[in-house]
Structure 1
Amino acid sequence: MYGTGYLAASALTITPVSGPLSGKAMPPGSKSITNRALLLAALAKGRSHITGALKSDDTRLMADALRAMGVPVEEPDVTTFVVDSNGHLQSPGKPLFLGNAGTATRFLAAAVALVNGEVVLDGDEHMRKRPIGPLVVALRSMGVDAESIGGCPPVTVHGTGGFRGGRVEIDGALSSQYVSAVLMMAPLASGPVEIALTGPQIGARGYVDLTLSSMRAFGVEVEHVSIAQWRVEPGAYRATDYHVEPDASAATYLWAAEALTGGSIDLGVAAHAFTQPDARAYGVISKFPRMPSVIEGSQMQDAIPTLAVLAAYNQTQVRFTGIANLRVKECDRIHALAQGLNRIRRGLAEEEGDDLIVHGNPKLAGAHVDARIDSFADHRIAMSFALAGLKTTGITILDPRCVAKTFPGYWDTLAALGVELRVADENLETSP
């Protein structure tokens, strides 16, 4: 079964491969960069062509929200967006539904301060549990009338068409997206904006660098005053043609599949060519089956599920530290990883505070288990645990459709490399 068939299944069972996985497999475009480029193109006057872009649930939700605010967004092919904007956002007239798209929700929560009127940003049951309070506090300090329910979406912003400059302090410990959201709106303030972290901690700082690079591409420079402070002068974004690099987080699954099977998968781009922070996971993956005993994951958070499943087959124990933020992602990923690994074999993983300990067991390769993996509707949990199915018989992934959030073609990509996937029902009664 190919194409949408995999996404329509309630469960998929992975058949272990008999040899190395080899071939070509291009990751989709970066979700993080695509959604930044879409927003900046909407804030720029003129026509922007965004090529190499990701078309997935998250980017569709961002594009639909921009359309609802009067920005024409065309999709001439499967990897291109054309944004033809007058540089302004209009009141959408009804709440913007953003599913569980964290980038879209947080970036737009700041950007809609430029709308003249009320804007409500809402999401699904998972998004309504994800924190946005620190961003709302920062916006209010800038004179933006914004409020949220219990520090989570829905968020209501009463826009006045603009906002003042000045100093704004942000608690970026939970998510770098709060910082990126304010940075991207800052050039459109009535005066200079100074953005300062309330502490040195910031979740995945490398994503702020992605934001600064995207802003630069659309004609705005940001002064990096210190490690915890930026200054942005008033200015305007310029429409441009922008190419999105492949998604490094998606690449980690293919790198890990290559390492697990001793294969050779050509991604079409070298690991060192990625600018996204998750690309640093390649250095850890290349050490398999002798991964480091301690992996500090704060700056490659989305790669941790991949590394944790890979660590199950490592020769020695691996402790993951600096990953507390994984508890407030699409699901509590620390708990989801521990639960899934322990369904493969009891005692394989444990939570110790906010650390995850994986007791590597090379004998899992070739073993037969009966493990139904709850993905918790989290794309990264589903995609990472599929890797276990390459070596261990009896791995079934529930809710395989959730990969559409960032990598709709994931199952097809595995199949094209020679991985057999069998549609299963939720009671594990599989059919060919």
Structure 2
Amino acid sequence: MDASALTTEGFWAAPKLRHALDREVVIPGSKSATARALVVAALSDGPSTITGGLDARDTQLMRDALRALGVRIHTSFLGAAGDDAAFGAPGAQQSRPLTSAVWCVRPPRRFVSTGDIDCGLAGTVARFVLPIAAMAEGRTYLHGDEGMSARPIRPLLDALVDLGARIPDDAVAIPLTLTGRPDLPGGPAIIDSSASSQFVSGLLLSAARFRDGLDLRHEGATLPSLPHIQMTVDILRDHGVRVDQPEPTRWIVTPGPIRAGDIAIEPDLSTAAPFLAAAVLTDGTVRIPHWPLETNQPGALLLPLLEQLGARVQLEPATDGRTGTLSVTGPGHWDLDGFDIDLSDASELTPVVAAIGALANGPSRIRGVGHIRGHETDRLAALEADFRALGADVDQTEDGLALRPAVLHGGPWGAYADHRLAQAGALLGLVVSGVMIDDIGCTSKTMPSFPSAWWSLATGSGR
């Protein structure tokens, strides 16, 4: 049986750990950083080169969307390696990324829509490309997968209308059609980003190209995923954009050029989460090379929790002075106490953290993630249903999940076309026999090689 093995019912049988875990895993580029880099490069004043970017469905959709607005993007790969190189023998010293994507991005003199953009199920594509389409000549039809219509976007549409965009009054979700306005005024706007920080990031990314820039205020009950907004601000400042933040929930962007420049993408630290959690649950060791010594990725916020749970976390700097090899050795799930954690700044970690909580010896609570009901799926409802189907004692709360100790058993695990849910199911399968995931292919959203990488992790095989 190999990484693509299915049960007779069409489920992917999550492999149970078959050996003492001691593994190095190479993680592909950050999806969030890749999306922002592509958009900034498309808006810049000249050609840019992006290296180490994630080549997966969401980033392919982003490239296609930008091409539909007149951006030229040439794709190549450097240092491509197969599974044997990326997932070799335990303890092997691999240093090259699994696949290093290189994109040469040439912005157009003016954005002109070819008429059709497929957003798939990618919030970054819908929310980051909409402001560019609002500045493009011509009409643009944005559509996506069936679940895209349920993803929140109305606050972004309302803000764009306030900034001068031509969006139909009846447009409340994707699919929608808008007519671009190359002289989009910009200026002041108020937005409620309680449902997604991507509303703020989407406006900030294009704001320097608005005639009057942007003075954006968030007014709402919460503002989740602040590190993602900081990631957006940082990349803009790196490219010469003036972004002032006189208040925690107000951003002023001065109009002007966005300076072209080469961009190197960090590994996706949230995609590393299930691999690191595997070490914690199984009393094993997992090493991640190329881990940034300094980062604004929310995925790095997992490390303090792992230490709190008794894991040994070490980061050995590399000779480049910017990255290192992260090593995590866990106590094993039988020695895990429960925890109480606020994941409002790193809500994408919720499925993996919930899997840890479901196997802990004490009650656990995840807070501050009510907004993930509007992610690829209603993640809280999906997690509650999946865990309960395997015997877990779990309930949704207003802003998260409450988990209590229980004996888990095998059974079907619904991925709901959500890569993070599929990864959480695979994580449970390391220690719970018979977990069967209905759609492991959705992990291609952030790591196309995830099934083979996970199989290698669990079985100790080279593939």
Structure 1 residue 89 corresponds to structure 2 residue 129: no
Structure 1 residue 260 corresponds to structure 2 residue 260: no
The answer to which structure, 1 or 2, has the higher relative contact order (CA under 8 A, 6+ apart) is 1
* Separation of aligned partners in 1, 2:5 and 2:35: 27
TM-score, length basis structure 1: 0.90
* Separation of aligned partners in 2, 1:352 and 1:275: 28
CA contact (8 A) 2:338 2:357 kept: no
Task: Give the equivalent residue in structure 2 for 1:388.
Answer: 428
Report 1:120-269 matches (<5 A).
Answer: 120-147=141-168, 151-199=172-220, 201-269=222-290
1:363-402 CA-to-partner distances (Å, cap 9, x unmatched) read 54xxxx3310011111110011110110010101111111
Distance 1:337-1:200 versus aligned 2 partners, 3 A rule: closer
Q: Which runs of 5+ in 1 are unaligned?
A: 422-432
Moved more, 407-416 or 178-187: 407-416
Task: Give the equivalent residue in structure 1 for 2:22.
Answer: 22
SS in 1 for 2:175: strand
* Separation of aligned partners in 2, 1:276 and 1:87: 32
1:135-169 CA-to-partner distances (Å, cap 9, x unmatched) read 00000011111247663211322112131132111
* Separation of aligned partners in 2, 1:310 and 1:419: 21
Task: Give the equivalent residue in structure 1 for 2:347.
Answer: 301
SS in 1 for 2:139: strand
1:245-288 CA-to-partner distances (Å, cap 9, x unmatched) read 11111011111011111111111144754321122022113333
Task: Give the equivalent residue in structure 1 for 2:358.
Answer: 312
Task: Give the equivalent residue in structure 2 for 1:350.
Answer: 395
* Separation of aligned partners in 2, 1:219 and 1:11: 49
TM-score, length basis structure 2: 0.84
Distance 1:231-1:381 versus aligned 2 partners, 3 A rule: same
Task: Give the equivalent residue in structure 2 for 1:426.
Answer: none
Q: CA RMSD in A?
A: 2.1
Residue 43 of structure 1 deviates from its aligned partner by: 1.0
Moved more, 74-83 or 137-146: 74-83
* Separation of aligned partners in 1, 2:160 and 2:168: 9
* Separation of aligned partners in 2, 1:214 and 1:4: 38
1:6-51 CA-to-partner distances (Å, cap 9, x unmatched) read 8xx9421123214432221111101011011111111113221111
CA contact (8 A) 2:66 2:129 kept: no
* Separation of aligned partners in 1, 2:261 and 2:434: 49
* Separation of aligned partners in 1, 2:405 and 2:294: 30
CA contact (8 A) 2:266 2:292 kept: no
Task: Give the equivalent residue in structure 2 for 1:327.
Answer: 373
Task: Give the equivalent residue in structure 1 for 2:74.
Answer: 74
* Separation of aligned partners in 2, 1:148 and 1:273: 44
SS in 1 for 2:396: strand
Task: Give the equivalent residue in structure 2 for 1:45.
Answer: 45
Tell me the number of residue pairs that the alignment of Structure 1 and Structure 2 aligns. Answer: 412
Residue 296 of structure 1 deviates from its aligned partner by: 1.3
CA contact (8 A) 1:46 1:87 kept: no
Residue 317 of structure 1 deviates from its aligned partner by: 0.8
* Separation of aligned partners in 1, 2:387 and 2:238: 42
